[in-house]
Amino acid sequence: MNEIELGSTDPVGARDGKDLVSGVPVLPLPAHTPRRADIDPVAAKRAERQVALMFASSIALLIAFTVAYIKVPNTSLVSIPVIGTVGTNHVLLGLTLGLALFLIGTGAIHWAKKLMPDVEVTQERHSLSSSAAERAEVVEIFNRGAAESGFGEHKLIRRTLLGALALLPIPLVVLLRDLGPMPNTRLRNTIWKKDVHLVTDATYQKIKASDIPIGGLINAVPENLLEIEESEGNLNQRGKASIILVRMDPAEILGQQGENWDYEGILAFSKICTHVGCPISLYQQRTHHLLCPCHQSTFDLANKGNVIFGPAARRMPQLAITVDAEGYLVARGDFKEPVGPSFWERG
Amino acid sequence: MSDTQQKASENVVVSKVGVAAGYVDDRLASANFTKRLLDKVFPDHWSFMLGEIALYSFIILLLSGTYLTLWFNPSMTEVIYNGSYLPLKGVKMSEAYSSALNISFDVRGGMLMRQIHHWAALFFVAAVTVHLLRVFFTGAFRKPRELNWLIGTGLLTLAILEGFAGYSLPDDLLSGTGLRIAQGIMQAIPVVGTYVAMFVFGGEFPGTDFIPRLYSVHILLIPGILLGLITVHLIMVFYQKHTQFAGPGRTESNVVGYRLYPVYMAKAGGFFFIVFGVTSLIAGLVTINPIWLYGPYTPSQITAGSQPDWYIGWLDGAVRLTPNIEWNILSHTISWNLLIPALIIPGIMFTLLGVYPWIEAWITGDKREHHILDRPRNAPTRTALGVMALSFYLILWIAGGNDIMATAFNLSINTVIWTLRIALFAVPPLAFVLTKRICLGLQRRDKEKLLHGYETGRVLRLPHGEFIEIHEPVSFEERAVLLSKVDVPVMEITSGEDEHGVRNPKGRKAKIQAKLSGWFYTDNVSAPSEQELAEADEHFAHQLGAHERTAIDSH
Ligand code: HEM
Ligand code: FES
């Protein structure tokens, strides 16, 4: 070590082997050791060929990319170990393009490392702050401008201008008014009404009470949903009115949100989590627990739909049901409390 | 080619460049700037490539994203799917989802571009995050680079939002579920939440306005701001010159490295192609976000065990860990269970992140410029704070997969959540203490190495029978690095009273500051004095002599 004597060749920013700013010892930059390609023409030639080979392979791969694009049908599949079954066209395009790009990159870097100069260069840093005189000049110019404009003197001008500027955001906010409707009671109502049939989600079949076994679970929606979805052209009502039906032994029901809201042990609950609105899907029939897959809030359907675990703060709203003359399940009215996530005005 | 011929052809090239440069210079006086640009020296270190990866991923996102816009149709109008993906033929879905399927199955190369776009988005946020960590742990954010750190915080925030927006566009079952959660969180904002949600979604969830609106945010608004901020970010790096690590020939007032043209340009340009190539290879081989398996979004369905993209995991985890506190005051609802994890915690985290350079500068009273990077061990308190914050983030992130962990380790969700809740408060302080100790240990070892060399593992028997292990002085490069440790003086504690015994508030502030400064620095191991270093050198010279003698003895 210490082949180079301390302080003999101070780098920029150091004197007597010490950094001028921080005062810590600084060792000089060692002399450059040439690489093989710098002194051996054969090694240089080899490096040149390696770089060119990478670029040439990239050319070949780009041609292969084009051929694959044209020749390999988009529908053919290929099965690759570990990766599974994937589109042949997709994999070939990915491999050829990826490798072509990769080889351009490695070629350029190999070139820089082997053949371009590798002598480290030292450059001086210049102070990032201006001189005191320059700063003073800026302040002076600023003050001169302020004086010339009379911004300080003309109080009336200044205050009215500031007032106008302060109100400028008004149009920006006002213009946003038509982004959406006022909330009104939208979050409080669903399309459930007295005597609306409960139908199965997806197939819209009326549900006979006697068809549901104890322990059974059915995803249901109001019968009028399809019609309303079509006329409104959106899924908004589905996001509020979806329910799940479960049947349990009436003796196991510990409590309901209203007197006799079940029909012979069949209970209807909102499917929309009261936390942030995920549709709930996991029901454990032994415990009567309903679990939300989003953040694991758990509700006890045998006991008023109360929250027994997780981040949801409100119970699952229950829908009062009964049957029509033919024994099909119908609603006895809308939910008695808002479904879905909380909101400021909910109360 | 003969020598003269070669000379001639070189001259032609040079003069062509000269003519072109002259044309531009006549109009912009660009020669001076171009000269400084091409000659600019950049220091080399692998960790400086992290910012580059972020930059290149962003460019890949712009390229692949533009390609996707040629076919993607951001509309929530219902259509019946009739493309070549058979399992979904005849299914009702939005045009957005149907066109995303089309890009995947009917546009040749469309699947590749979708996959490149998604992978690049994951790499982008990852590269930004790791880049931030490198800037933090090396102290690169100190004066004069605080403003660039602030811009960086903005970039990170925007990168996360941009990723979430993109994830939400295809209107598949997963992306719709993410939006439902976002909408539920908006609704929880006190006073204005209901209105915000109504206005943003054009009515109730999901409505038909949101995806077209999100589209302009995703392809114009956020990328535009990102592009602008990245440009400023890079101009600042260029203008202030990059920092460098300590080493032979490196000082606070110089930059040692390679010139932009040609070496750095070839390396950085080549690296862009490598990042692009690797992204394309991964995109071709590993499927990410197979939207065709999830099906179209409908608010009454969900897939169990669904996970957001990795950079949303910590928010999801925070939402999962927060207890179900909700207040009802005068028939108004305050949902702390959402406000805390989704607004308050992220708000605090990003604010602290953004202002950290000023906090540290205030604590240490350090007003100097810094161009030589700190080794993390030499700033133990900062490093410990960083690891502490990181452990907090990681626990939240892990909590985002609490259901997966519960199934994997056969635990109840309850156990997992309570363990993580406790860990969230217990682990970060532990991480702080532990990191600080490790740093100080490393400092001691550094000093030891400088004064007594490193242990070679070779044992020697001295003539009088004693065994010693040979210590060799550290290499020249390492010595330069070890010597660069700066001893920072702890601020003097000034009394909180002036000379007349009157308490002065300024003095009190100074006292707090001095105390904090002490907390930040006191444990540091001092750098060896000049005398100690000289003695060490002499000792090595002496040992070398003894070493040679024994070598002769054993012959
Ligand atoms: C879109 C995201 C970003 C891009 C494209 C980007 C790009 C870059 C690049 C290419 C560099 C120079 C090379 C390097 O030091 O790695 C750099 C430097 C820097 N970045 Fe970023 N960055 C991003 C985000 C961030 C973030 C999130 C922070 C911190 C909050 C940050 C803070 C800095 C600082 C302080 C420097 C100067 C470092 C030095 O001179 O040592 N950047 N950035
Ligand atoms: S949405 Fe159900 S637990 Fe969060």
Domain B41-74+82-301 fold: Cytochrome Bc1 Complex; Chain C (1.20.810)
Interface contact A99-B277, CB threshold 8 A: yes
Say what the pLDDT of residue B500 is.
59
Q: Which of residues 345-364 of B touch A (CB under 8 A)?
A: none
Confidence at B548, pLDDT banded by 50, 70, 90: low
- Alpha-carbon torsion (B499, B501, B505, B507), positive or negative: positive
Q: What is the DSSP string of B59-71?
A: HHHHHHHHHHHTT
The whole-number average pLDDT for the span A293-301 is 95
> Is the Cβ of B443 closer than 8 Å to some Cβ of chain A?
no
pLDDT over 80 (residue B449): yes
Task: Say whether A121 and B41 touch across the interface (CB within 8 A).
Answer: yes
Minimum-distance ligand 1 atom for the alpha carbon of B58: 5
**Closest-lying ligand 2 atom to the alpha carbon of residue A278:** 1
Chain-centroid distance of CA A155 in Å reads 50
Average pLDDT over residues B345-349: 98
Establish whether residue A310 lines the binding site of ligand 2, counting it when its CB lies within 6 angstroms of any ligand atom: yes
Contact B284 A94 (CB under 8 A): yes
For residue B372 the two structure tokens come to: 């030589």
Give me the residue spans of the domains in chain A: 14-179, 183-346
Q: What is the pLDDT of residue B514?
A: 85
CA of residue B485 to ligand 1 center, whole Å? 24
Average pLDDT score over residue span B307-328 = 95
| pTM for this model (two decimals) | 0.92
Percent of chain B at pLDDT > 70 equals 92
In percent, the amount of chain A with pLDDT more than 70 equals 98
Examine the pLDDT at B544 and tell me if it is beyond 70.
no
Place of tokens 């209807």: A268
A6 confidence band (pLDDT: 50, 70, 90):
very low
**Closest ligand 1 atom to Cα of B129:** 27
- Comparing CA positions, the residue from B113, B73, B110, B70 lying closest to residue B93 is B73
Q: Do A278 and B180 touch (CB under 8 A)?
A: yes
Query: What is the torsion angle, in degrees rounded to the nearest 10, for the CA atoms of residue B214, residue B220, residue B223 and residue B226?
Result: -110
Model confidence at A269, pLDDT cuts 50, 70, 90, reads very high
Domain-by-domain residue ranges, chain B?
Answer: 3-33, 41-74+82-301
Best to test chain A binding among B39, B204, B331 (most A CBs inside 10 Å): B204
Interface contact flag, A242 B262, Cβ < 8 Å: no
B4-15 residue pLDDT tens: 555 555 566 667
* Inter-chain touch B248–A295, beta carbons under 8 Å: no
B492: pLDDT strictly greater than 80: no
Candidate CATH numbers 3.30.70.20, 1.10.1740.10, 3.40.630.30, 2.102.10.10; the one for domain A183-346:
2.102.10.10
Backbone angles phi, psi at A197, to 5 degrees: -70, 145
CB nearest to A90's CB, from B111, B320, B328: B111
For B240-253, the three-class secondary structure string (H helix, E strand, C coil) is: HCCCECCCCCCCCC
Q: Which of residues 81-100 of B touch A (CB under 8 A)?
A: 84
Confidence at residue B554, expressed as pLDDT on a 0 to 100 scale: 43
Residue B203 pLDDT level (bands cut at 50, 70, 90): very high
CA-B319 nearest atom, ligand 2: 4
CA B43 – ligand 1 centroid, Å: 15
Measured in Å, residue A311 CA sits from the centre of ligand 2 at 7
What separation in angstroms does the CA of A156 have from each of A151, A152, A159, B545? 10, 10, 5, 89
Tell me, what's the pLDDT at B454? 86
**Confidence check: pLDDT of B463 > 90:** no
Neighbours of A130 (CB within 10 A): 11
Residue whose Cα lies nearest atom 4 of ligand 2: it is A295
CB-CB contact of B472 with B484 (8 Å): no
Cβ contact (<8 Å) for A182 and B195?
yes
Compare CB distances from B414 to A122, A281, A309 and report the shortest one's residue: A309
- Residues B291-300 have pLDDT tens digits of 999 999 999 9
pLDDT in tens, B520-543: 887 888 888 889 888 888 887 776
Mean pLDDT of B307-322: 95
pLDDT at residue A3 in the model: 40
What's the gap in Å between the CA of A160 and the closest CA on chain B? 31
- The answer for B 399-418 residues in CB contact with A (under 8 A) is 402-403, 413-414, 417
A44-76 pLDDT, tens digit per residue, is: 999 999 999 999 999 999 999 999 999 999 889
Taking alpha carbons only, the member of A280, A212, A221 closest to residue A248 is A212
CB–CB contacts below 8 A, A to B: 365
Owner of token pair 């932009």: B260
